[in-house]
């Protein structure tokens, strides 16, 4: 019998490159027989086959068009078009911000991937998923935080962003907040583009989420330190995202 809760599976959690055997950002969200993929970084196509057949994939949402979040989309198109299928997979809609335009124009592929531009005010109804967005603060590249709601629970994924109010509002009362935690200490940038682990904890606290899962991890960071730093600023339980691990929401 199908599980009644939404299930989120971590395929990849590293940035800006993976360590040996790792993968960059990518997550499967499943509910009532439908599968939505959030981001498709390098290594995700290999990892997803441990969890689904390619023909089960319905939609992809790309938070933004940086390579560590999209590069396996260019491999996914081969998997969808050239795999040994009895019945060919249906076309998969790929929702993404339209900028940079040159990157966006590369997402569409023959009959298998259909690129659809999204903006922050869109509300998508994708099978059992109601999806809304907030504008992240990520330098010149538009980046969207994503809120996925079902009849059972709410998942919010920050994409890449500095700590900012629109993402805080989007995350309000989420059952699970999947937050980037790129830095251990704040960098001396004029324009902040990512969060520290402590800021991910602050986001969880301000938004009053039930659980915080840290992701978008630099391979050389000490993960226990990241979790401790995040836990220091929220009462919500904090865990490190694990590749292959599934979370019920
Ligand atoms: Zn990015």
HEC string of 181-232?
Answer: CCECCCCCCCCCCCCEHHHHHHHHHHHCCCCEEEECECCCCCHHHHHHHHHC
Q: What is the pLDDT of residues 208-240, one digit of tens each?
A: 999 999 999 999 999 999 999 999 999 999 999
Q: Ligand 1: distance of its center to the CA of 209 in Å?
A: 24
What's the full length of the chain, in residues? 249
CB-CB contact of 12 with 24 (8 Å): yes
Q: Ligand 1: distance of its center to the CA of 87 in Å?
A: 36
> In the numeric block, which tokens belong to residue 106?
């590369």
pLDDT of residue 177: 98
Q: Ligand 1: distance of its center to the CA of 64 in Å?
A: 7
Q: Ligand 1: distance of its center to the CA of 28 in Å?
A: 19
Q: Ligand 1: distance of its center to the CA of 193 in Å?
A: 8
Q: Ligand 1: distance of its center to the CA of 207 in Å?
A: 22
pLDDT of residue 84: 83
Q: Ligand 1: distance of its center to the CA of 116 in Å?
A: 19
Q: Ligand 1: distance of its center to the CA of 109 in Å?
A: 23
Question: Alpha helices, DSSP H only, in the chain?
Answer: 44-48, 67-70, 73-82, 101-104, 165-170, 197-207, 223-231
Segment holding 228, helix H or strand E: helix 223-231
Q: Ligand 1: distance of its center to the CA of 62 in Å?
A: 11
Q: Ligand 1: distance of its center to the CA of 32 in Å?
A: 31
pLDDT of residue 188: 76
pLDDT of residue 136: 98
Q: Ligand 1: distance of its center to the CA of 90 in Å?
A: 29
Q: Ligand 1: distance of its center to the CA of 41 in Å?
A: 11
On the question of a cis peptide bond just before residue 16, with omega within 30 degrees of 0, the verdict is yes
Segment holding 59, helix H or strand E: strand 59-61
> In the numeric block, which tokens belong to residue 147?
């809120």
Which CA distances in Å does 166 have to 26, 53, 137, 173?
22, 35, 9, 14
Q: Ligand 1: distance of its center to the CA of 114 in Å?
A: 22
Segment holding 155, helix H or strand E: strand 154-157
> In the numeric block, which tokens belong to residue 170?
């989007």
Q: For the chain, which residues score pLDDT lower than 70? A: 1-3, 190
Burial of 93 (0-12, 13-18, 19+ CB in 10 A): middle
CB-CB contact of 23 with 35 (8 Å): no
Segment holding 104, helix H or strand E: helix 101-104
Which CA distances in Å does 205 have to 137, 171, 174, 208, 229?
19, 10, 11, 5, 13
Task: Give pTM, 2 decimals.
Answer: 0.96
* Block residue for tokens 């682990």: 197
Ligand 1 ion: Cβ-proximal residues, 5 Å cutoff: 66, 160
pLDDT of residue 3: 57
DSSP state of 120: T
* Block residue for tokens 């969880």: 204
pLDDT of residue 83: 83
pLDDT of residue 118: 98
Domains of the chain (ranges plus CATH)? Answer: 7-248 (3.60.15.10)
CB-CB contact of 161 with 66 (8 Å): no
Q: Ligand 1: distance of its center to the CA of 1 in Å?
A: 38
pLDDT of residue 144: 98
> In the numeric block, which tokens belong to residue 67?
């390579």
Q: Ligand 1: distance of its center to the CA of 69 in Å?
A: 7
Rounded to whole angstroms, the Cα distance separating 25 from 12 reads 5
Q: What is the pLDDT of residues 118-144, one digit of tens each?
A: 999 999 999 999 999 999 999 999 999
Which CA distances in Å does 40 have to 12, 14, 139, 149, 190?
9, 12, 20, 20, 29
**3-state DSSP call for residue 45?**
helix
């Amino acid at each position: 019998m199908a599980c009644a809760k939404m299930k989120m599976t971590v395929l990849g959690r590293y940035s800006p490159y993976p360590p040996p055997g790792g993968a960059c950002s990518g997550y499967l969200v499943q509910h009532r027989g439908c599968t939505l993929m959030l981001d498709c970084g390098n290594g995700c196509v290999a990892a997803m086959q441990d969890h689904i057949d390619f023909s089960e994939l319905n939609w992809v949402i790309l938070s933004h068009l940086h390579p560590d979040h999209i590069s396996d989309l260019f491999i996914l198109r081969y998997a969808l078009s050239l795999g040994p299928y009895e019945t060919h997979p249906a076309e998969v809609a790929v929702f993404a911000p339209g900028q940079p335009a040159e990157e966006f124009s590369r997402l569409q592929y023959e009959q298998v991937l259909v690129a659809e531009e999204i903006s922050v005010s869109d509300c998508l109804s994708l099978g059992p998923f109601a999806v809304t967005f907030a504008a992240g603060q990520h330098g010149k590249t538009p980046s969207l935080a994503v809120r996925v709601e079902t009849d059972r629970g709410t998942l919010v994924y920050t994409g890449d962003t500095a700590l900012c109010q629109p993402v805080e509002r989007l995350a309000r009362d989420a059952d699970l907040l999947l937050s980037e935690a790129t830095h251990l200490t704040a960098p001396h940038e004029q324009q902040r583009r990512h969060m520290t682990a402590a800021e991910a904890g602050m986001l969880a606290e301000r938004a009053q989420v039930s659980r915080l899962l840290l992701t978008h991890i630099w391979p050389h960071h000490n993960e226990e330190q990241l979790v401790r730093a995040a836990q220091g600023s929220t009462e919500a339980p904090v865990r490190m995202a694990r590749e292959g691990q599934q979370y019920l929401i």
